[in-house]
Amino acid sequence: MELHFNHNTTKVQQLTDYIQGAIFGNELQVGDKLPSINYLSKKYGVSRDTVFKAFLRLKERGLIDSIQGKNYHVSKQSTNILLLLDEYSPFKEALYNSLVQKLPTTYKVDLWFHQYNKNLFDTIINESYGRYSKYVVMNYDNEKFSDTLEKIDKDRLLLIDFGKFDKDGYSYVCQDFDEQFYNALFSVKKRLTKYGKLVFILNKNHKHPQSSKIFFAQFCNDHGFEYEIWENAVPDIQQGCCYIIIKQTDVVDVIKQSKSKNLKMGKDFGLIAYNENPFYEIIGTGVPCMSIDFNQLGDLAGKFVLNGKKIRQYLPTKVYRKDSI
């Protein structure tokens, strides 16, 4: 590992990141003595003050310590983790809890949400850069890899959930919103045949990949289902239709309509929600749902944090509570 200064940030920050990287990479172990300020100043052609400020930052982060302001040594290896998700939802909480339970109590997970805002996403990454031993990040776009993430060491970054973009060299645990969505529908094809029409509700402004509409239409065409795709407001629900719904608020809207019309879910109309929610288990006989296992996602993220081994995996999308369809 060599240090080559550039003009992207200050020399203090670059020297700090360099030493921290050596600690994260186990090149410097707990108890190891760091080279002296004078030595590093001469070796890298920087002022003693630059080295001192870098040491001070590392000391503030709890990575190094000193005896009376000299003889700096590694005090611990960082166990701080950044978990950056898009927005809060119950299944994201399941992911977080699963990750935390996988880790020893000495690990600290900082949870942030970028709200699909690129500027906020970039700010969080830029301000957290160099402060964490591992980064578990949900990109803000399913189609495009964020350039900001390129500054993070590939060995310390795990991409989760979204991931249709090129992920060459990166670890990832993602879901497929296209073919897996098609396959999930196919797994309940026989149950869907009792309905006269399938209706897919996905607002055109929603951040869920819009390509799912293409695979929904393909499924219906391949297997002879009449269908509609609603991209704006939730439609006036009709008896004999099965609704596949992405947004949880739209699920609530449809259930409210069904109650006002005395329509029974699973008999008079069908409903399949997207992404698991604990409340779905207790509504009626249970709301059918297609989802990846977010507990498994958190568990795999925890393994990456602990062992740093490369992982490249797409999780299957399954339909839960099929009997309620």
The confidence band for 79, taking pLDDT boundaries of 50, 70 and 90, is: confident
Give the whole-angstrom CA distance, residue 124 versus residue 211: 28
CATH superfamily of the domain spanning 80-175+294-317 = Response regulator (3.40.50.2300)
The confidence band for 17, taking pLDDT boundaries of 50, 70 and 90, is: confident
pLDDT digit string, tens, across residues 133-174? 899 999 999 999 999 999 888 988 999 999 999 998 999 999
Q: Which of 30-34, 64-68, 175-179, 237-241 has the lowest mean pLDDT?
A: 64-68
pLDDT digit string, tens, across residues 185-200? 999 999 999 999 999 9
Average pLDDT of 187-216? 96
Would you list the domain boundaries of the chain?
11-74, 80-175+294-317, 179-291
Average pLDDT of 3-19? 87
Contact 85, 45 (CB under 8 A): no
Question: What is the reported pLDDT for 60?
Answer: 80
Sequence-distant (≥ 6) Cβ neighbours of residue 288 within 8 angstroms: 188, 270, 271, 272, 273, 319, 320, 321, 322, 324, 325
pLDDT at 131 over 80: no
CATH class of 11-74: mainly alpha
CATH class of 179-291: alpha beta
CA-based nearest residue to 108, from 118, 99, 116, 119: 99
pLDDT at 282 over 90: no
pLDDT digit string, tens, across residues 90-114? 889 999 999 999 998 878 899 999 9
Question: What is the reported pLDDT for 110?
Answer: 94
DSSP secondary structure, 13-44, as one string? HHHHHHHHHHHHTTSS-TTPBPPPHHHHHHHH
CA dihedral 103, 312, 146, 301 (to 10 degrees): -10
179-291 matches 80-175+294-317 in CATH topology: yes
